[in-house]
A and B are shown apart, each in its own frame.
Chain A
Amino acid sequence: MGRTHKVLVVEDEFLIAMELRRTLTEAGYDVVGPVASVSDALSLLQQSHPDACVLDVNLRGQTACPIAEVLRSMKVPFVLSTAYSQNEIDTHAALAGASNIGKPAPRQDLLQAVAELVG
């Protein structure tokens, strides 16, 4: 049996974060976080090297760009979960090209996207 993959969840809406954690935990992932702010995510990434990340774009009024930049530098694949349109996402260089499972994200889309990231 392979090792359990660590998935960082960055989401500032606590009820959605709870659901993400629950869905991923039930699917056998080791959830890191959830964290709700850019600063908390960056602190956590100094201590932990997740295998993948589910990233909200708007975190209490701040964009998740600094997190995306660090994730890219650490070669941690990530998927966005945001209600923003692709055009709006693509205006941020750090987020451009990242796939977005949307919000609300269907459970199957979330699990499939994370499986592809760690696969």
Chain B
Amino acid sequence: MQANKRVHADMIMKTGIRIAALCALGLGTMPAVQAADGECFESRDGASKVVQKEIGENLKNVECSDTTGAVLWWGDPYDGTQPMGDMPVEIEGEAVVKSRTAQLNLYPVCGVACHNGSFPAPVEADAPPRKLTMHMDLVPDSMNLQHGNGGIWCLDCHDAKTRNKLVDNAGNLVDFNQPQQLCGKCHGQVYRRWREGLHGKRIGEWAADGKKRWFVCTECHNPHDVQQGERKSGFAQITPEPAPKLPKNMDNADHERHHGH
């Protein structure tokens, strides 16, 4: 009986190790950003990919910038969207969003293969914070979390047991597709402005009761690096589009750059 138990435990351990190894392998081979033909990003480089495709006669879903790879134009603002779901926005009219989980490569497996709720043994939510070495590839900023001035760590937002869900301060599970329900718990002012349609970005119809695609928090802000170090800005710097052409017979724009002229 005792021996049996030990064998059983052994097996669990072995399976666990194998799964862990598989996970590590999967993580290791997963490039953070992969630029492919006709692939560009909507708002945040590397976090809001979209693949260019035909959606009608002479109509593409998006047009991308040749120089920066950013989406410049939406042929259909609602392409690939889903209803926003249980989300009290103050503006009337249909609200749709794009799935965030579709952008997370490991989302389909992370809650089953790697973190199934019992293995690896879940860390207590009130455990002393530590840096997360395991996920440096997934979360490049995991060793230097730039959120909350060092006051919060992984398990303040990620659920300790159900790893494919977020968790708010009251212990409610929050879907990755609805990050505003979590972010709004601390950033109430911004959240309110967003619901009113003042903060953030929407595309689609301009009418107050029109159909809009809403951009959710994590489409523009990197939750692991919202402070941006010294910049103290929630939006990461991006590459600008090229400057306009200089007027004819003008070689440079030095005239603009002289102080005290």
Q: Do A and B bind each other?
A: no
